[in-house]
Structure 1
Amino acid sequence: MKSVEPISISGVKREARELYHGHFKTAIKINIIPIITTVLATLATGILVYSIFTNLSATVDVPVDNTDTGLTQIYSILRSILSDAVQLLFLWTASWTLIDWYESPKDTPSLKDSFQLFRRGNVWHTFLLALVQNMLLFLWTLLFFIPGIVKGFSYSQTYFAYKIDIENHTRQPQLTDYITVSRRIMAGRKWELFLLELSFIGWHLLGILTAGLAYIYVVPYLNATRVAYSRHLFTLAMTESVAK
């Protein structure tokens, strides 16, 4: 069994804060789409929960037409997968901008840089990758909730593996190869990444309590921390590969 060198949670958080020091307006700009989608999702969830609880006492039995129930469910699932893929697309392009910023801290990125995916002409290939990843996660989730979460951590580095190919002007033979790279590099690391995500639980609670407004700060901080973690992860993986 190979030894896994730990990555400091406090260390990657500190790197995120240092990256944004004095540039938080820029941090908001390059994360603007993930911020908006997270705030809207928080508000929508809050409204849904409120409506459920307020209508519990007024529940009335109404005849249900099951004729189109199956088709409606299929449509709802497909719409959810497509919607999640689009959101992942915007999260990836924001994360790629953060990768570039980490590599060149003195070169402050612009709003235009955060949409690099659409300017480089590989949007459809990237969308298909995001779609495939979300479809696989959905299928794993069908096996119960926990396997879906575990695979979510396994697939979490797909965006970074793909970014490396973008920079090198190369492409893997199959879209699933990027997911395979992520699975391999996350072997023995899923618990570590889970603890990193768990360390933001207080921030998420603050986001919920403020009806999503706190996510204006939390989303950039969380995304920069994730990218900092990924950089350390791939650096260690490449070091181990050279050592072999």
Structure 2
Amino acid sequence: MKSVEPISISGVKREARALYHGRFKAAIKINLIPIVTTVLTMLATAILVYSIFTNLSVTSDVSVDNTDSSSTQIYSVLRSILSDAVQLLFLWTSSWTLIDWYENPKATPSLRDSFQIFRRGNVWHTLLLAIVQNMLLFLWTLVFIVPGIIKIFSYSQTYFAYKIDIENHARQPQLTDYITVSRRIMAGRKWELFLLELSFIGWHLLGILTAGVAYIYVVPYLNATRVAYSRHLFTLAMTESVAK
């Protein structure tokens, strides 16, 4: 049976703060796009909620042709999956820069470093992986919302597994293999990661109350904490693998 050594939430947060200490401008630079997308998503959600509660949302006419309605829904789903995949792609490349920074903490990365996904020529392969992951998450959500949420945590380490192959100039036979690695390494860890994400609820509330301004600090802090957690996770997994 697989042993699950707990990873300290306060410990990975402390590592994130230590990484950024005295160099928070660099942290903002490499997380610039995730910051912007987070703020825009928050504002869009706020507008949607406001329109619903003030009865400003447009309701569809019951006489609309069913075929047109179905086509519109399919197009909306595909557009949403592609949009989420693009956002995920930019989050991954920022996280990869953080991985490099953790490996070499004395070096200060630049904004250019956060676009490594484009400079290394693997952007289309990475985008396809992001699309596949989001498509699978969407299908799980159709089953029921809870399985969909669980799968978000199961697939959360895909970016790190893929980064390892990038560094070793390797590639898995199938894109879903990276998702499989994430599922295996997150076995018994999903609740732990959920608690880590939950520990940032106060920071998210601050971001909402400040109309997104606080996310300039929150997003870099959250992303660095996630990467610190992933590093411990894969280190433990490799240690267990060698022990066997």
Q: How does the TM-score come out when normalised to structure 1? A: 0.96
2:50 matched to which residue of 1?
50
2:64 matched to which residue of 1?
65
Amino acid at match of 2:17: R
Distance in 1 (CA, whole Å) between partners of 2:88 and 2:61 is: 38
In the TM superposition, what is the alpha-carbon distance from 1:143 to its structure 2 partner?
A: 0.6
CA offsets per residue over residues 34-65 of structure 1, 9 Å max, x none? 00000001111111111111227x99996541
1:130 matched to which residue of 2?
130
2:196 matched to which residue of 1?
196
1:6-155 pair list within 5 angstroms: 6-55=6-55, 64-67=63-66, 68-155=68-155
Amino acid at match of 1:10: S
CA offsets per residue over residues 201-232 of structure 1, 9 Å max, x none? 11111111111111111100000000000000
In the TM superposition, what is the alpha-carbon distance from 1:2 to its structure 2 partner?
A: 2.2
Amino acid at match of 2:213: L
SS at match of 2:156: coil
CA offsets per residue over residues 18-37 of structure 1, 9 Å max, x none? 00000111000000000000
CA offsets per residue over residues 177-203 of structure 1, 9 Å max, x none? 000000000000000000000000111
Amino acid at match of 2:4: V
In the TM superposition, what is the alpha-carbon distance from 1:121 to its structure 2 partner?
A: 0.2
Distance in 2 (CA, whole Å) between partners of 1:2 and 1:237 is: 10
2:225 matched to which residue of 1?
225
Q: How does the TM-score come out when normalised to structure 2? A: 0.96
In the TM superposition, what is the alpha-carbon distance from 1:161 to its structure 2 partner?
A: 0.3
- Runs of 4+ with deviation above 6 angstroms: 58-61
User: Unpaired runs of 5+ in structure 1?
Assistant: none
Distance in 2 (CA, whole Å) between partners of 1:3 and 1:169 is: 31
CA offsets per residue over residues 122-150 of structure 1, 9 Å max, x none? 00000000000000000000011000010
SS at match of 2:143: coil
1:205 matched to which residue of 2?
205
Amino acid at match of 2:88: L
- Structure 1 residues 226 and 65: CA distance shift in structure 2, 3 A: same
2:180 matched to which residue of 1?
180
Amino acid at match of 1:85: A
SS at match of 1:55: coil
Aligned residues: 243
- Identity value in percent: 85
Amino acid at match of 2:27: A
- Structure 1 residues 29 and 60: CA distance shift in structure 2, 3 A: closer
- Structure 1 residues 144 and 14: CA distance shift in structure 2, 3 A: same
Distance in 2 (CA, whole Å) between partners of 1:60 and 1:238 is: 53
